[in-house]
Amino acid sequence: MTLHDLELSGNCYKVRLFAALAGIPLQLAPVDFLAGAHQRPPVIDLNPWGELPVLVDGEVVLRDSQAILVYLALRHAAPQWLPREPAGMAAVMQWLSTAANEVQNGPCAARLVDKFGYALDKADTLRRSARILPLIDAHLAHRDWLAAPQATIADCAVFPYLALAHEGGVDLAPYPHLRGWIGRVKALPGFLPMPGV
């Protein structure tokens, strides 16, 4: 099972982190992003969207970090990481959408501007961050984990770009519950860091 990977990508890190926590063996194939290798064959043939990560498991080829987390959890991990009953799985799904949209276009995009010079509207990324962070903080005021009594792939999907928020100039100081949760993720057995986390 191969993950086409970029070390500095929080989206790739979602997958590396979950694989480490769940004990899933993953072969990393680093992609030379700065040279545009993700926009050329063979990577673009695996994912026409030209984005990383891409997972290849035999015949299965998947784009989108959230979809990859779902696949790995269903196929290669203990059920605690993605509840199978409808309400439990939907609770996780809420946070996969949040990771795909609000976190991606908030703290992640802010970091893309500051750290990698992307031509995005920095003020918009900060506005989006300022909306989402109090909601997440309030959600975690009386919960240890985002979507279940235990850690799930929801935590793996949301964690990277919040733990990297400082690299986009987004300050987590006003959000103590969120910071407590970041500490709990970091204390999980098998936790794997990345540069900046």
Smaller CB separation from a copy of itself, 149 or 189: 149
- Residue 55, C-beta contacts closer than 8 angstroms, at least 6 positions apart: 1, 2, 3, 4, 15, 61, 62, 68, 71, 72
Q: How far is CA 51 from CA 39, 44, 66, 161, in A?
A: 8, 8, 13, 17
Minimum CB separation from a copy of itself for residue 187, in Å?
27
Length of the chain equals 197
Minimum CB separation from a copy of itself for residue 93, in Å?
4
Smaller CB separation from a copy of itself, 49 or 186: 49
Smaller CB separation from a copy of itself, 57 or 114: 57
CB 1 within 8 A of CB 56: yes
Minimum CB separation from a copy of itself for residue 186, in Å?
25
Minimum CB separation from a copy of itself for residue 196, in Å?
22
Minimum CB separation from a copy of itself for residue 92, in Å?
8
Residue 30, SS3? strand
Q: How far is CA 81 from CA 29, 45, 94, 185, in A?
A: 25, 30, 15, 13
Selection from 43, 41, 99 nearest residue 66 by Cα: 99
Smaller CB separation from a copy of itself, 127 or 186: 127
Binding positions for a copy of itself, rule: CB under 8 A: 48-49, 59-60, 62-64, 66-68, 70-71, 74-75, 85-87, 89-91, 93-94, 96-98, 100-101, 104-105, 121, 124, 135, 138-139
Smaller CB separation from a copy of itself, 101 or 150: 101
